[in-house]
Structure 1
């Protein structure tokens, strides 16, 4: 039997809970600073930093470092590729949900 739902294979880079939380928050704002992301995702500084590095290496986020009133500030924004990939991921999850609802009928 051919695998009719092969396009539902989830992207493990994005599906990891911490990264999914980061990308979901970023998909609803133009950009977010590090502390905002930390508060909204509940991740530790180290975990958030590690996840952001992986997402930046994959081209899904841009990280900008600056100073605000002489204090370092890190701001993060989704790239065009990041917007596309998170939207695709949520669409895959929706299709998966619909398939499971159909199989229950």
Structure 2
């Protein structure tokens, strides 16, 4: 029998990355400041976790301007959506097998 923990994606071990992906799964795009407020994080903490997700190809980043202010938005990639769904499915299977 396969160890159910092996099906979990290690990148989502962090509650912050789990939170970021949860927000991005239900919103097409979210800007940095909105993510920061929703998750109640500091700039540096959020930025490092976003960088990890981006480097793994799980989110994409779009930088632009709103007026003269920079605006950075994030979106879950197709790969990221699939990885997150698989992670949630693995968690669900673990929970169902506990009874």
> By the TM > 0.5 criterion, same fold?
yes
CA distance in 1, matches of 2:42, 2:70: 18
- 1:44-73 Cα offsets, whole Å, 9 max, x none, are 110110001010000000011101011000
> Which runs of 5 or more residues in structure 1 are unaligned?
none
**Structure of higher RCO (CA pairs closer than 8 Å, 6+ residues apart):** 2
CA distance in 2, matches of 1:33, 1:99: 38
Q: Residue 5 of structure 2 aligns with which residue?
A: 8
TM-score (norm. length: structure 1): 0.88
CA distance in 1, matches of 2:79, 2:3: 22
Q: Residue 90 of structure 1 aligns with which residue?
A: 88
2:64 is paired with a residue of what secondary structure?
strand
CA distance in 2, matches of 1:91, 1:8: 12
Q: Residue 63 of structure 1 aligns with which residue?
A: 61
Aligned residues between the structures: 98
TM-score (norm. length: structure 2): 0.93
RMSD: 1.1
* Contact 2:4–2:94, Cα closer than 8 Å, also in 1: no
Larger radius of gyration: 1
Q: Residue 52 of structure 2 aligns with which residue?
A: 54
